[in-house]
Structure 1
Amino acid sequence: MKTIEYTYHIVDIDKIAASVFKHLDSKTVLFKGDMGSGKTTFINALLKVMQSDDVATSPTFSIVNEYNLPSDKVFHFDFYRIESVEEAYGFGIEDYLNSNNWLFMEWPERIEELIPENIETITITTLENQKRNLKLTINTNHLAEK
């Protein structure tokens, strides 16, 4: 397991997203951070790097948004409103997990037992002066790592 850290200002987010993308070995990426820390904003920057014309919006109410890439798709989940694993099964989470598409998951701790082993984790923390700290944990074996 390897951790790479970045501290950035919002104006540098595209450059940071490009660097992070180069390090991703798994198509399942967990996004952790407090409400308003910039998870969806960072996902939007990653989509640009991945050559998507779509704009990321928070899927808090829809639970999952789909974005198109030139030869793939990204499924962006927000599990904040999920009350149980049964709810995740109810909207077909297993189909997404078995899809071989990119999976970006916000609030993954809500479905901890369903998270596959081959994942990477991006943790975003808000700092002063509109800066952020981003930790990319590469090849995380389990969600319990915080």
Structure 2
Amino acid sequence: MTKEYTTAGEEQTEALGVRLGQLIQPGAVIAYTGDLGAGKTAFTRGLARGLGIPDRVTSPTFTIVNEYEGGRLPLFHFDMYRLGSSDELFDIGWEDYLARGGVCAVEWSENVDDALDEDAIRVDIRRGAQDDQRVISVTNVPDLAADE
């Protein structure tokens, strides 16, 4: 099932990530797609907050993976922008990260899509009609709308 959400600004995008972080289970993989600057890292900042991680979350563009501990689950934040294939993903220890029972958040997941399971949570972030608006499609997860 795919649900679509529209956010107005980075704060609302992060809030949607917080909700996912509160719901997510150990071993989950979140596969992001979206253009540069679409809000993947902002969503992941929220995800980390929802997991109770106190650290500042930044894009792992040059390190490929950032690890965050201190919440109810560890968060492994991957950026696959510079990877040429899923073979390189396995070279950096993908299976070891999966085995650690945390949450793997994968930016530019389309570069390694053949290595991801079908049950991965898919998050596609696109720009909306206004500059700060984002249209976020989430697949394989319960409704993230805030409880009324």
Could you tell me the TM-score, scaled by structure 1's length? 0.83
Does residue 1:17 correspond to 2:22, yes or no? no
SS of match in other structure, 2:140:
strand
* Counterpart-to-counterpart distance in 2, 1:126 and 1:52: 27
Does residue 1:4 correspond to 2:3, yes or no? yes
Deviations for 1:11-68, whole angstroms, at most 9, x for unmatched residues?
3234323444455467111111011101001100111122110111111111100011
Select between 15-24 and 118-127 the one with higher mean Cα deviation. 15-24
Q: Is the 8 A contact 2:14 2:47 kept in 1?
A: yes
Higher strand proportion:
1
* Counterpart-to-counterpart distance in 2, 1:85 and 1:12: 32
Taking a change above 3 Å as real, the CA distance of residues 14 and 92 of structure 1, as seen in their structure-2 partners, is closer
* Counterpart-to-counterpart distance in 1, 2:76 and 2:131: 31
Deviations for 1:51-105, whole angstroms, at most 9, x for unmatched residues?
1101111111111000114332110101110012332222112211232210000
Select between 95-104 and 23-32 the one with higher mean Cα deviation. 23-32
| RMSD of aligned residue pairs (Cα, Å) | 1.9
Structure 1 ranges of 4+ moved more than 3 A: 18-26
* Counterpart-to-counterpart distance in 1, 2:100 and 2:5: 30
Q: Is the 8 A contact 2:29 2:120 kept in 1?
A: yes
Does residue 1:129 correspond to 2:128, yes or no? no
Number of aligned pairs? Answer: 138
Select between 51-60 and 20-29 the one with higher mean Cα deviation. 20-29
Q: Is the 8 A contact 2:51 2:72 kept in 1?
A: no
* Counterpart-to-counterpart distance in 2, 1:59 and 1:14: 17
| Equivalent runs, 1:102-121 vs 2, <5 Å | 102-121=103-122
Q: Is the 8 A contact 1:29 1:103 kept in 2?
A: yes
Amino acid aligned to 2:3? I
SS of match in other structure, 1:80:
coil
* Counterpart-to-counterpart distance in 1, 2:19 and 2:73: 20
The percentage of aligned residue pairs carrying the same residue is: 31
Could you tell me the TM-score, scaled by structure 2's length? 0.82
Select between 17-26 and 91-100 the one with higher mean Cα deviation. 17-26
Question: Unpaired segments of 5 or more residues in structure 1?
Answer: 140-146
